[in-house]
Structure 1
């Protein structure tokens, strides 16, 4: 069966994706900052391997890649992300912004770089990162959340650039917005539950190929404006 590696798999969408993929017989490598406290993840059934990973720690990323030497990863799913707040104009904090950029924009690329050979040796050869409609400039019609919005816009550019470089190797790269989901990040007023979002994300991943690599998809399948 195919193998997927999911970062930030201890809660929310990541946990639901791990559950659904494992339930369908996939081998799941699920990462969490502290596996000891990832009770929901440890309770899942199936072929699940839990690994500790702080995505901003490049030494941990390299160590994980070495630990997984020889493993073929069909789908690398950069799900780990952070939202520090919905700061308005005049309320931004530089250190918080930099941390958000590190988690949401830089870490996904460092994981791609560290694990690209694992992906290249697989059958499906897919790299997907969870972005957000809040990172879309073409569809932007609200305000605030400067750090989060800019970090997701940066992730989108990272993805397009990586897609261009990895296309000759047959590796497909894309970003997917999960929609507004009822999680710790999305809040109780969100319009989707995690099951709906995760199921939609999986359908997009299933259809991903080199011919449509480098695109920005909504969980429901349609293209989103950059």
Structure 2
């Protein structure tokens, strides 16, 4: 009886493997696309199992309800950190289209085609890699506008060293790692420290919102291709910063959300993404407007309304 049972289980396993092999041709995770034969460190059934599990977990992505809880309108005043190009500039444009006032930050200069009118659109110099610059910008905003922000969208970030040097363990340097952490992790933390006091919730049942652009590259569950140490680690650390901020700022009626923009055609991706900034930002603003105190603090959601695994 035991022998028969063992044979039956073996046959069932073989059938399962065959079905998985027929279904799992390739796996797309984050920015990397690879076939089963190229998954490092795995062989045979283990390799197939990892690929199948990734494929199936993606298929079970959880969509969140994005009914509007905190609408962006003519009563809104949003700070866009890193707003001079790509996704950040698209945030500026779409927020203005919704009627909001916007203050955009820039590190070098404001693009010549961006019309700062100092009525609906303001510009302010700030380098998120420099703590004194962040503090100076917050003081400048307070002196001109007081505590009047309803939204903060933290978009500033860097990819860091080249993909080759980030993915080759032997080529990593402390300086390269810290450069990326300084912008992607500490920049977000200290922007929150200095600008959260300038948020003014519109109503008791309508919180102020702070949104951070992270990346699936920072997801531990989603890391199936390795490498890219600086960028992955800095975004993973940012995720924990965002989660703590969501808990700590909640008593002040400030809701915090973590956003994944997708793989967007920007200068950072050398225009090799899958979507354009308008599609990305339209989806992310839906997530921002759906943010409320009833949702999980610091939830992580992408531009398609999918909850992102930590």
Q: TM-score, normalised by structure 2?
A: 0.69
Select between 20-29 and 81-90 the one with higher mean Cα deviation. 81-90
Match of 1:67 in 2: 140
Select between 100-109 and 64-73 the one with higher mean Cα deviation. 64-73
Aligned equivalents of 1:46, 1:117: Cα separation in 2: 23
2:248 to 152, 165, 170: 165
Aligned equivalents of 1:46, 1:199: Cα separation in 2: 24
Partners of 1:23 and 1:46 within 8 A in 2? no
Match of 2:210 in 1: 127
Which has the higher Rg, Structure 1 or Structure 2?
A: 2
Q: Does 1:106 align with 2:186?
A: yes
Secondary structure of 2:274's counterpart equals coil
How many pairs are equivalent?
225
Moved over 3 A (4+): 40-46, 120-124
Match of 2:304 in 1: 220
Partners of 1:72 and 1:122 within 8 A in 2? no
Match of 2:128 in 1: 55
Aligned equivalents of 1:201, 1:97: Cα separation in 2: 28
- 1:42 offset after TM fit, Å? 3.6
- 1:41 offset after TM fit, Å? 3.2
Aligned equivalents of 1:221, 1:52: Cα separation in 2: 32
Residues 73-104 of structure 1 deviation map (CA, whole Å, 9 limit, x = unaligned): 11111100000232212221221210100100
Q: TM-score, normalised by structure 1?
A: 0.93
Unmatched runs of 5 consecutive residues or more in structure 2: 1-74
Residues 6-26 of structure 1 deviation map (CA, whole Å, 9 limit, x = unaligned): 111011100011011112211
Select between 57-66 and 71-80 the one with higher mean Cα deviation. 57-66
Aligned equivalents of 1:215, 1:166: Cα separation in 2: 14
Partners of 2:257 and 2:300 within 8 A in 1? yes
- 1:120 offset after TM fit, Å? 3.9
Match of 1:13 in 2: 87
Match of 2:96 in 1: 22
Partners of 2:116 and 2:123 within 8 A in 1? no
Judging changes above 3 Å, is the alpha-carbon distance between structure 1 residues 45 and 219 closer, same or farther for their aligned structure 2 residues? farther
Unmatched runs of 5 consecutive residues or more in structure 1: none
Q: Does 1:79 align with 2:162?
A: no
